Structure 1
Amino acid sequence: MSTTSQSQPAEPESAKRKAPTEQTSTPTLTFTTRNPLWTYLKLQLTHQPPVSQSTLIQPLDPLTARTYLSAALNQFLGLSGTAISIDILKIDPPTGTNAKTIWIRVPAPDASAVVAALSSWVGGGSSSGDATGAGNVAWRVCAKGNFLQALVNGSGAEMFVP
C-alpha cells in the first residue's frame, strides 16, 4: 500500500489580497431594538378654571409633580398603580404661553396603563389648603415614545421633504 500525498500548488503572490492603504469611508452600524425597556412621556399640567394668575406662574416642583402622578395612578389602578416606577427626567418652568411641562420615564409594559391613568385624572389643585383661585389640575399627554431623542427632536420627517 502506497500513500501518495498530493500537494496543492502554491498561490501566486499577485492573487493575495492587499491591505488597503487608506480608508475610504467609515462603516455603517445598524441595529434593531424590538423590545425597548422604557417609554418616555411628555406631560403638561393644565389648570381648570377658576385659576389665579399667581397659580399659573408658580413653577412646578418635583414633589408636587410626584404627588400628582401618584394620585392619578392610585385613583386609576389602586395600590398596584402606585408601585409603577416613574422617573422624572425634567421639569420645564412655565414661560409665557408655555405651560408647566414634565418629562417622565416609565417601564414599557406599564406605559399604556400610565397614559390611561394620567389622561383621565383630574385632581384638586389647592396644595396649601386655600381653595380660592386654585382650581383643579389635570395631566395632558403631549407625546409618547420609546426613544427620548425622537420625542425631543421630532420624528425626523422634515429631512425627507423636498
Structure 2
Amino acid sequence: MAPIPTETSSTVSAIASPDTKSSAPTSKDVDTSELDSTTPTSSNTKKRKRKDNAQEKQVHILHQSTFRKTAWSYFHLILLTPGTAAIPPATASTDSTTTSSLSPLLASSLLTHSLRSYLGITGTAIPIDMLKISGRSVWVRIPRQDARAFRASLSGWVGTCDGEDIPGVEGGMGVKVGVAWRVAGEGGVLGGITTGGDGMDLFG
C-alpha cells in the first residue's frame, strides 16, 4: 500500500505544472504592449512628413537653367582725365559736379581708337553695344569671345580729346586733354556690374 501515495503526488505535480506556466507572463506579451504604445508616435511623424512633402510639391518651378558660357560680356568703363586719374572708381563715376554726359559718338570713337591701336583693323570689327552713358561712365556689351582682347586694348591705351567735349573738364576751344579708359566692372551678366544686382538701375 506504500507506493500509492507517491503516484498520486506525481500526478498532482504534473497537473499543477501547466497551470503555473499559463499564469506566468511571457516576454512576448510585454513586447507587444510596448509596440502598441509606440505606434501612435510613429504614425504622427509619418503624417508630418507627408504634410512637409505636400508643401514642397506646391512650389512649382516653370524653368531653371544655368548659363555656363554666356554669349555676351558686359563692361562698366570710366573715361579718365589727368585730374581724375587718382580718384577711386566709385567717386569718379558718381561725381556730383558732373551735369552732362559723354556723347555716344565721342565714346564710340574713343573705344574704336583703343581697339585699332592694339589690334589694328581687326579690332575695329568688334561690335560694341552701348547700353547707357552717365557722366563719364559707359556701360557696353560685346561678344564673350572678344572680351579678353577688348580689356587688353583698353588697359594700355592713352589718347587725346577736346576738353570741351568731356564733362567736368575746364578748357577753351581747341584745348587737348589726355584721356584713358578704366575698367570699373566686368561680368557675364548685366547684374554683375551694377549696384542693383539685376541691371534694372541702368534703365530706371
Q: Please give the range of the TM-score, normalised by the shorter of the 2 chains.
A: 0.5 to 0.7
User: Which residue among 108, 115, 122 is the counterpart of 2:144?
Assistant: 108
> 2:115 maps to which residue?
73
TM-score by length of 1: 0.66
Structure with more of its chain in helix, by fraction: 2
Identity across matched positions, percent: 36
Corresponding residue of 1:45: 79
Deviations 1:110-153 (A, max 9, x none): 00100010121111122779453x42010000001000012213
SS at 2:137 equivalent: strand
Cα distance between partner residues in 1 of 2:100 and 2:74:
25
- Partners of 1:147 and 1:45 lie apart in 2 by 22
Residue 67 of structure 1: how far off its partner (Å): 0.4
Alpha carbons of structure 1 residues 137 and 79: separation in structure 2 relative to 1, 3 Å: same
Greater relative CO, 1 or 2 (CA 8 Å, sep 6+):
1
The alignment partner of 1:84 has SS state of coil
Match of 2:102 in 1: 60
Q: Give TM-score scaled by structure 2 length.
A: 0.53
Once residues 104 and 113 of structure 1 are traced to their aligned partners in structure 2, the CA distance between those partners, rounded to angstroms, is: 15
- For these two proteins, the number of residue pairs brought into alignment is 123
**Could you tell me how far 1:28 is from its partner in structure 2?**
7.0
Of 150, 153, 157, the residue aligned with 1:121 is: 157
| Post-superposition CA distance 1:25-66 (Å, at most 9, x none) | 23374311122110000000011259xxxxx76520000000
1:148 aligns with 2:190: yes
Larger radius of gyration: 2
Aligned residue for 2:124? 82
Q: CA RMSD in A?
A: 2.8
